[in-house]
Each structure stands twice: as structure tokens, then as C-alpha cells.
Amino acid sequence: MELFFFIDLYADRELIDYYILTFKLEDTESVELVGQSGKQYIRKVKDWEKFKASVKEIILYELGEEIERFKDIETALRESYRIAISEAVRRGAKKIVPAIGVGNPPPEVLEKVYPEKLEFEKFPEDLDAFLDRIVRETFIETGERSQENE
């Protein structure tokens, strides 16, 4: 099965999103896939060692142009992020963080390959309660500011 990872970074407020790492996955048992918009994405890597052994034909593209081929996925991801980070630094970014979402490497993969220390906020178990709390806090904060301005 042919899959890919977007190697996206936030460089301050700018999104660097023109690197993509494609590969063939011979055995999908090592991953959890999710379908979206007619495509399959890796949601989770269940077994890192099996995943690494199953990945073949790894190619890094920049704006659709092939820039490098790799023999193993771990090296490919490390090098891809190194290249993207170099671009962010060249642009003068002070805060550089990897994007997380559909199509990006899952957090457990990023923790293994990203060249900088990462800290992830855990995704809330009860998303509705989390969003309700955010809305209440935002309303209270904006309400207090509007009262101060009167």
C-alpha cells in the first residue's frame, strides 16, 4: 500500500508545508489506518520495529520534485525534518514546532525521530466537555474585557 507523511512545521506563525515523504508499506498490521477524503492515512504506529521493516521505496519530495531517496523510514523522517527545520531557521523563525494532524507522522513517531525535544498536550478523552470548557473560559475572559472597557 502506498502511503505518505506530510513533513509540516510551524515556523512561528507560518506553515512550512511543502515536504512530503512517500513510501510503500508492505504489511499494514503494524499501523492503524484512517480513511479521509478517499485516502488512507496512518493514525497510529502500533509496532515501530515491524513498521520500519515493512516500509520500502521511501522518497522525499519538495513541492512535488523528488529530492532524496532513503533505505529506512527512521533516517528518512529524521533527515526530512532536518531539511524542513533548516528552511524555518533560514526564514528567521524563533519557534519551530512540527504540525500534528491527519497526514502528519503520529506523535509517537515524532517523539522517536524529531531532532528537538517535544512536549505534547494529551488529547482530551471527552472532547465535548473540553470544548465546552474552552467556550466558557473564552466567554468569561472576553466578557471581563468588555466590562473593563466600559
User: What is the pLDDT averaged over residues 22-28?
Assistant: 96
pLDDT at 144: 56
**136: confidence class by pLDDT, cuts 50, 70, 90:** confident
Residue 3 near residue 42, CB atoms below 8 Å: yes
Instruction: Please determine, for residue 145, whether its predicted confidence score (pLDDT) is greater than 60.
Output: no
pLDDT at 84: 95
Return the DSSP state at 43. E
pLDDT at 132: 87
Instruction: Please determine, for residue 49, whether its predicted confidence score (pLDDT) is greater than 70.
Output: yes
pLDDT at 150: 59
Q: CA separation (Å) from 20 to 68, 105, 115, 124, 134? A: 11, 11, 17, 28, 33
User: What is the pLDDT averaged over residues 9-21?
Assistant: 93
Q: What is the pLDDT of residues 52-96, one digit of tens each?
A: 999 999 999 999 999 999 999 999 999 999 999 999 999 999 999
Query: Which residue did the predictor score with more confidence, 116 or 107?
Result: 107
pLDDT at 124: 73
Q: pTM (2 decimals)?
A: 0.77
Ramachandran class of 37: left when φ > 0, alpha when ψ lies in -120 to 50, beta otherwise: left
